[in-house]
Amino acid sequence: MKCDYACQSDSHPVSRRQFLGALGGGFVVGGLGALTRGAAAAQLQQNQMRVLTVFLSGGVSQLESWDPKPKTDTGGPFRAISTAVPGIQICELLPFTAQHMDKLSLVRSINTKNGDHGKGSYQMQHGRNEMPGVDYPHLGAVAAKSLERANSPLPGFIRVPGGGRGRDAAYLGPRYNSVGAGGSPPPNSARPDSLTAEMDAFRNSIRRQANDHFVSQRRTAETDVYTQSYEQALQLMEKRDVFDVSKESDKEHERYGKHDFGQHCLMARRLLENDVPFVQISHTNYDTHNENFNFHLEQLGEFDQPFATLISDLSERGMLETTLVVVMSEFGRTPRINVRYGRDHWGTAWSICLGGAKIQPGAVIGKTNENGTKVIDREVDHGHLFHTYLAAVGINSTSSFDLGGREAPLADPSRSAISELIA
């Protein structure tokens, strides 16, 4: 649905352009990432862990999702409902997800001290505060590097939906930048009918000879990027059907829903089944300065069943124990309801949902006060969460990447994982 954002932030058109996949570029991989070494990477080669994040862009209300406060001055019109875990209640807008809370956990005590869309998005996806002149890799890039599959033809960090190549790997290099995908194979990933397999093989052999000759005289990071992008593109052509959700049965499309978010969840399952280390799904229009309750009724109504279906499928297929799932936003929303029946930006006391991998299921970390205006137990921030995500897939979050002799910590050294969440 269309949302008229009242905060007038420049972040909204940027996020929407990204959501529609207008990022430029192609499948460029390789480069400086080849010079980095993750301290934990070797021990993880055999674990085959994965990460799925669902980013609810705009700032989902914790009061209409994971930390309802009914019958209070801030609670709004919706009830809290029981879940599969006795004693844990969530908002009635999430009835399907409630049935799977025995596989999930909640963190209800987040304080990021931030109410800006861009800065909040950076915090939650990079684990650090955004600073001028300093760039850190996205969680997806860290996971793609640390959980890298040797000789995999598929990118390690895929955004759904999206198009082109992101620029989110920072010093890990372009090999670990994100790749956007929709519900169909990447464009230009099929060999033209006019080109036979023999001709294509001959053409590529000539290209490799020319590359080898050039590299022997003046190899650079840029030439590595060029060479590796071609080689992975050739491998990707062999796996192009992974990106084609039309290969799924009508029953699967019905189960997930034929709207965009349902199809994106189905795509995410296909990617995880094909061992992509990191997948991110986006769902937008949660910046509800106006008509907060109507918007959440519609948006979470669209989110709930596909997400619950995805969790159920991952569990039934034995994948949830090796797949971390995180539902996050850039911040929460104000307990105070404004004059437009909306909620504004709020980074002081809010929540996320996560589960799978090594996350203790059925847990609730932290607590807010009676009407949700402040954290009163186990306050954490984005730094603690980033450490927790890495620890949940077996990565030593206190280790560093070696960048040509210079160490770069995987996560903020001043923070640590939420230990009681790690099973």
Say which residues have a Cβ less than 8 Å from residue 395's Cβ, sequence separation at least 6. 38, 40, 44, 142, 143, 146, 147, 410
Question: What does the pLDDT look like over 221-234, one tens digit per residue?
Answer: 666 666 666 666 66
Position with higher pLDDT, 8 vs 357: 357
CB 277 within 8 A of CB 156: yes
Q: Return the H-helix or E-strand segment holding 238.
A: helix 221-238
CB 139 within 8 A of CB 389: yes
Q: Return the H-helix or E-strand segment holding 392.
A: helix 382-392
User: What's the pLDDT at 191?
Assistant: 66
Q: Is the pLDDT of residue 20 over 50?
A: no
Q: Is the pLDDT of residue 314 over 90?
A: yes
Question: What does the pLDDT look like over 135-160, one tens digit per residue?
Answer: 999 999 999 999 999 878 899 999 99
Confidence of residue 21 (pLDDT cuts 50, 70, 90): very low
Percent of the chain with pLDDT over 90: 70
Q: What type of residue is 192? A: P
Q: Is 134 exposed, middle or buried (0-12, 13-18, 19+ CB in 10 A)?
A: exposed
User: What's the pLDDT at 186?
Assistant: 65
Range 11-421 has CATH code 3.40.720.10? yes
> In angstroms, rounded to a whole number, what is the distance separating the alpha carbons of residues 232 and 21?
21
User: What's the pLDDT at 32?
Assistant: 35
Question: What does the pLDDT look like over 157-174, one tens digit per residue?
Answer: 999 998 888 999 999 998
CB 330 within 8 A of CB 59: yes
DSSP string, 37-102: EETTHHHHTTT--EEEEEEETTT--GGGTTS--TTSTT--SPPEEE-SSTT-EEETT-HHHHTTGG
Q: Among 195-204, 289-298, 352-361, which is the least confidently predicted range?
A: 195-204
Q: Is the pLDDT of residue 35 over 70?
A: no
Neighbour count for residue 223 (Cβ, 10 Å): 15
Average pLDDT over residues 70-94: 98
Comparing CA positions, the residue from 396, 305, 315, 313 lying closest to residue 356 is 315
User: What's the pLDDT at 226?
Assistant: 64
Average pLDDT over residues 375-393: 98
> In angstroms, rounded to a whole number, what is the distance separating the alpha carbons of residues 3 and 17?
15
In the Cβ-directed half-sphere of 182, how many Cα atoms lie within 13 Å? 14
Average pLDDT over residues 112-122: 98
Q: Strands 278-283 and 50-56, how do they pair?
A: parallel
The whole-chain average pLDDT of the chain stands at: 87
pTM (two decimals)? 0.84
User: What's the pLDDT at 116?
Assistant: 98
What are the structural domain ranges in the chain? 11-421
User: What's the pLDDT at 210?
Assistant: 82
Question: What does the pLDDT look like over 254-264, one tens digit per residue?
Answer: 999 999 999 99
Comparing CA positions, the residue from 301, 188, 318, 300 lying closest to residue 240 is 188
The pair of structure tokens assigned to 235 is 């491998």
